[in-house]
DNA sequence: TAGTGGTCTAGACCACTGC
DNA sequence: CAGTGGTCTAGACCACTAA
């Protein structure tokens, strides 16, 4: 095998990354299995280890492989999770068992698990602005970490105004059937309008560790705001999802 | 100045990237202006040029700077464009002057411009599937390239079934007021349901050149499908947008 | 011709893993 | 202890730009 090129216009490390990427996609290197060592690849392709390392850096950034220090480079088993932002609300409304996240993963044959940490924190400046709260005032924060087959795939922190949520089941870890949105509805602040703003950025300090990511990889940074019927923003939810693990779907009626 | 660290846990090139990123955000290096040369930075921070180069590679990947070979590294003027997928349909419906794209850019004080290339092509396999067309059959393709202040910011190729679009104004470069969707409505196939699937990936061969991107940067790959009232998919639109130039907004009613 | 960034090699040291 | 990837330096050559 070995389409041993390495001349021409494209830099060697990019060509090499391409060759290895193709090999992975052909199934030549199997998901969950370690790749040959960088020294071996360097010998095989007739380049320096530095060049191999640079090529692997590309594949890592793409989420195709990951490294276990001291052990080797492993091909990532890549179950891309499809997140239907609109549909998930409907599942929630329907009282979907343990939430939309679990339903999404179940459809892929994955097991879902999640953490929650509830606390009162000083509202980040922009969140305070959206919630129309004094800058620096306290809000209820629900910080969740979600796992698929015990691999972390999402961080989500939900901010809610204290005058609505304090002392309610929303301030409990378990928010009951239908989750936070159903409790908001019980309190007369059921979300009527939802909006999500999507950007892509490098993981922040904590996030890279919490999501098991490299600094060169990227997350979707999604900010959702929920307005009740009166037009008041009753929730701001900041999410971080590794881009190589997710696909986002939005649907709406024309007109 | 010069918080000249470079010890400790984080690799030097990452620390250096952080320092330079901060300097840019502080306005120490100005948008549109060249940075000091890599040799100068290497001397200033006491590292090798290789390390500076690696740091700059990070900033390039983030879209913060770009390189003009032989000239230098320039700080990118970064007007992030906000794309409201739902609102843009409404603008279109309202017959918004020259389209939603121009309206979006006008709000940022940017000038919009775009190319169109209309042709009949063999449908890509997955597109044929969505349009419920014979694999390999011909479809109408409208390939657009959009510019903001003459900087390319988006590629979009729209695929439409020939039995609907052939011989109509949709096959013309200028589709008239309201654009393709209004013409589809005239033909009794007005879109009723829209869906967009968002992923993030490296630019493909042609895209990197057409969008003036590095291979290490990323694009949003957005596939929109439009269904008419009968539930038939009447358009598939594949878009590529550099992630560092865009912010995506989706809005919907709860329930 | 001088200056700029892109890339490559050779060689080295480190931290971490697993035997 | 050997093997793995992470990173750094020194030195080099290239293509391209601008004077």
What CA–CA distance (Å, rounded) separates B199 from B210?
19
A241 three-class SS: strand
User: What residue ranges in A128-206 does DSSP mark as E strands?
Assistant: 138-148, 151-161, 191-201
Q: What is the pLDDT of residue B218?
A: 97
Contacts of B117 (CB under 8 A, 6+ apart): B141, B142, B143, B144
What CA–CA distance (Å, rounded) separates B31 from B211?
19
What CA–CA distance (Å, rounded) separates B156 from A49?
39
What the block records as the tokens of B35 is: 């940075």
Say which range, A8-22, A219-233, B132-146, has the weakest mean pLDDT: A8-22
Q: Please list every residue in chain B whose beta carbon sits closer than 8 Å to the beta carbon of residue A55.
A: none
Q: Please list every residue in chain A whose beta carbon sits closer than 8 Å to the beta carbon of residue B218.
A: 200, 218, 243
Q: Mutate which of B198, B201, B222, B243 to disrupt the A interface (most A C-beta within 10 Å)? A: B198
Checking if the pLDDT of A76 tops 70, the result is yes
Q: Is the CB of B8 under 7 A from strand D?
A: no
User: Taking a C-beta distance cutoff of 8 angstroms, is the pair A217, A244 a contact?
Assistant: yes
C11 C1' – A102 CA distance, angstroms? 51
**Could you please report the per-residue DSSP string of B219-241?**
EEEEEEEEEETTS-EEEEEEEEE
User: Taking a C-beta distance cutoff of 8 angstroms, is the pair B202, A62 a contact?
Assistant: yes
Checking if the pLDDT of A4 tops 60, the result is no
If pLDDT is split at 50, 70 and 90, which confidence band does B210 have? Answer: very high
Tell whether the torsion through CA atoms of B29, B34, B40 and B45 is positive or negative. positive
Checking if the pLDDT of B2 tops 50, the result is no
Contacts of A148 (CB under 8 A, 6+ apart): A79, A81, A105, A108, A110, A111, A112, A245
What CA–CA distance (Å, rounded) separates B117 from B137?
19
Closest to A58 in 3D by CA, of A201, A244, A252: A244
Tell whether the torsion through CA atoms of B214, B218, B222 and B223 is positive or negative. positive
**Helix/strand/coil percentages in chain B, nearest 5:** 35, 35, 35
Checking if the pLDDT of B93 tops 90, the result is no
CA-nearest residue to B10 within chain A is A215
For residues B161-180, give the mean pLDDT: 93
D7 C1' – B250 CA distance, angstroms? 42
Checking if the pLDDT of B96 tops 60, the result is no
For residues B82-97, give the mean pLDDT: 73
C4 closest protein residue (CA to C1'): B70
Long-range contacts of B134-143 (CB under 8 A, 24+ apart): B138/B162, B140/B165, B140/B166, B140/B170, B140/B171, B141/B117, B142/B116, B142/B117, B142/B118, B142/B170, B142/B180, B143/B115, B143/B116, B143/B117, B143/B118, B143/B119
| Arithmetic mean of pLDDT over chain A | 91
Checking if the pLDDT of B187 tops 60, the result is yes
What CA–CA distance (Å, rounded) separates A104 from A246?
11
φ, ψ of residue B200 to 5 degrees: the values are -125, 135
For residues A216-239, give the mean pLDDT: 97
User: Which tens digits make up the pLDDT trace of A201-224?
Assistant: 999 988 999 999 999 999 999 999
Q: Is the CB of A51 under 7 A from strand D?
A: no
What the block records as the tokens of A172 is: 């409990």
User: Which tens digits make up the pLDDT trace of A119-170?
Assistant: 999 999 999 999 999 999 999 999 999 999 989 999 999 999 999 999 999 9
What CA–CA distance (Å, rounded) separates A106 from A228?
30
Q: What is the pLDDT of residue B42?
A: 93
Tell whether the torsion through CA atoms of B240, A24, A109 and A176 is positive or negative. negative
pTM, entire model: 0.93
User: Which tens digits make up the pLDDT trace of B47-72?
Assistant: 999 999 999 999 999 999 999 988 99
A124: enclosing H helix or E strand: none
Checking if the pLDDT of A227 tops 60, the result is yes
Q: What is the pLDDT of residue A167?
A: 93
For residues B214-230, give the mean pLDDT: 97
User: Taking a C-beta distance cutoff of 8 angstroms, is the pair A179, A218 a contact?
Assistant: no
Match 């590629």 to its residue by tokens: B155
If pLDDT is split at 50, 70 and 90, which confidence band does A240 have? Answer: very high
User: Which tens digits make up the pLDDT trace of B131-144?
Assistant: 999 999 999 999 99
**Interface touch A90/B255, C-beta < 8 Å:** yes
């Amino acid at each position: 095998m070995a389409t041993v090129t390495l001349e021409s216009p494209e830099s060697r490390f990019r060509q090499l990354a391409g060759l290895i990427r193709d090999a992975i996609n052909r199934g030549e290197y199997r998901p969950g299995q370690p790749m040959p060592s960088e020294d071996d690849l360097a010998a095989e392709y007739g380049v320096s280890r530095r060049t191999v390392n640079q090529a692997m850096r590309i594949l890592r950034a793409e989420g195709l492989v990951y490294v276990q220090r001291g052990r080797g480079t492993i091909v990532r088993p890549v179950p891309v999770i499809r997140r239907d932002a609109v549909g998930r609300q409907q599942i929630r409304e329907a009282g979907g068992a343990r939430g939309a996240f679990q339903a999404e993963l179940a459809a892929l044959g994955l097991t879902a698990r999640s953490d929650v940490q509830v606390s009162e924190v000083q509202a980040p400046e922009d969140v305070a602005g959206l919630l129309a709260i004094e800058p620096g005032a306290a809000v209820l924060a629900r910080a969740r970490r979600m796992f698929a087959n015990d691999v972390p795939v999402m961080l989500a922190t939900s901010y809610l105004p204290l005058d609505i949520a304090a002392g309610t089941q929303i301030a409990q870890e378990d928010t009951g059937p239908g989750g936070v949105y159903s409790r908001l509805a019980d309190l007369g602040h059921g979300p009527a309008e939802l909006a999500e703003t999507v950007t892509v950025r490098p993981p922040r300090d904590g996030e890279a560790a919490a999501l098991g990511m490299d600094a060169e990889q990227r997350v979707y940074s999604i900010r959702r705001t929920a307005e009740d019927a009166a037009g008041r923003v009753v929730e701001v939810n900041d999410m971080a999802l590794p881009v190589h693990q997710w696909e986002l779907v939005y649907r709406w009626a024309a007109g």
